[in-house]
Structure 1
Amino acid sequence: MPSQFSSFTIRQANPRDVGYVSEILTESFYRSADRQVHFLHRCFVDMVYPLLRYGIMLDLSSRFGEKTPCYACLVATHPANKSLPIATLEICMRYVPAQGHQNFWLGREMQQHPYIFNLAVHPHWRRRGVAKQLLLAAERTVKQWGYSQLYMHVLEDNQTARNLYDHVGYQMYDREGNLNYWLLRKPRRFLLQKKLRSI
């Protein structure tokens, strides 16, 4: 059932949305105007953009085709054009480390939990609350699956996203990428967790 928040509608994606969703993901992750990138890097991305988009479209189509029970792709639309997605996120089951269980030689114990990935909003629709509405819709979806915890990653230097996740109740669960941070000066990935209230 579509759910209405403010002026946006959140619904499950369908195969007709694949092209639009892949465009949003490619634009957000590879060519977003929010990021400061070198001129040559931007030129290279513009050159290979069609290939990047095609690859994302193939991945998305394969996930749609697998019919996995605990997988969802949600999209947001605006009343002006309810068939045109303007934002998206996906949820799947993913292994995350169990807190408090660590063995230096055997590695950490892992458990499967619902996990949010590929959260992206078209540049023209950012900072209007649509990402928050998608996150809240993801929580309801996960509750319907019978789970009470939800996870996602965020890069340490993505302060805008971290502020949003903090605002909707996500908390730090684990820090990853310490070696890359110290050796290569790459930002660490933070694994966030939200404990969901029962329906």
Structure 2
Amino acid sequence: MQRQSSSFIIRHASSRDVGHVSDILTESFYRRHDHKVNFLLRYFTDLVYPLLRYGIMLDLNSRFSEQTPCYACLVATHTANKSQAIASLEICMRYVPTKSYRGFWLGRTMQQYPYIFNLAVHPKWRRRGVAKQLLRAAEQTVKQWGFSRLYMHVLEDNHPARNLYDEIGYRIHDQEGAFNYWLLGQPRRFLLQKKIGATK
């Protein structure tokens, strides 16, 4: 699969992309890019960065080598450098509740559906529509697998991500972390669902 829109190309990742994807994930999830981060935290992050990146690379290589039927890693590249990934996401099968949180009292049965995780855009390439293109490509991949629903998690306080997901049709299906929310003030995790119209 290879999709080109404007200046970006979306394709399935290969083992050659592992290094770039590891950089994207480490930068996105472990390094803060605002000026409010104090010096000690930034220094500590720089110190452990190679270890974090190495751990992510091992995980990626493991998933690539397993060759699971319903697993995909998609990357976005820029037309100016088609070999360097600038954003990525992964899709796997995960058990999710078949009823929404509103139907909790009816019982909680679980079923496997495609699930998006590790969606990340390198800080230098954010706010250019890359994440939206990756999500559209993920929908096409899931349709090819024969599924009609796609899931992902988002933190309650991640408003930019929630706005993006809402814009392209994801809706809250389940709420997690209510205990930590009420007791510790931590944000809840919302399980989002999108119906994409296929056979399963």
TM-score class, shorter: over 0.9
Letter in 1 for 2:122: H
Unpaired runs of 5+ residues, structure 1, are none
Please say if residues 102 and 109 of structure 1, whose CA atoms lie closer than 8 Å, have aligned partners that are also in contact. no
Q: Does 1:189 align with 2:189?
A: yes
Q: What TM-score do you get using the length of structure 2 for normalisation?
A: 0.93
Instruction: Provide closer, same or farther for how the CA distance between residues 66 and 116 of structure 1 changes in structure 2, counting only shifts above 3 A.
Output: same
Percent of aligned positions with the same letter in both sequences? 72
- The aligned counterpart of 1:98 is 98
Alignment of 1:53 onto 2:53: yes
Q: Which residue of 2 aligns with 1:170?
A: 170
Equivalent residue letter for 1:80: A
Shift of 1:33: 1.0
- The answer to whether the 8 Å contact 2:18/2:60 transfers is yes
Whole-Å Cα distance in 2 between the matches of residues 198 and 112 of structure 1? 15
The one-letter amino acid of 2:195's match is: K
Assess, with a 3 A threshold, how the Cα gap between structure 1 residues 156 and 39 changes in structure 2: closer, same or farther: farther
Number of aligned pairs? 197
1:39 Cα offset (Å):
3.8
Preserved contact between residue 90 and residue 116 of structure 2 (Cα < 8 Å): yes
Q: Which residue of 1 aligns with 2:14?
A: 14
Give, in angstroms, the shift of residue 185 of structure 1: 1.2
Deviations 1:125-148 (A, max 9, x none): 000000000000000000000000
Query: Scaled by the length of structure 1, what TM-score is found?
Result: 0.94
Cα distance in 2, alignment partners of residues 103 and 171 from structure 1: 20
Moved over 3 A (4+): 34-39, 100-104
Runs of 5+ consecutive residues of structure 2 not aligned to the other structure? none
Partner of 1:135: 135
Cα RMSD between the aligned structures? 1.8
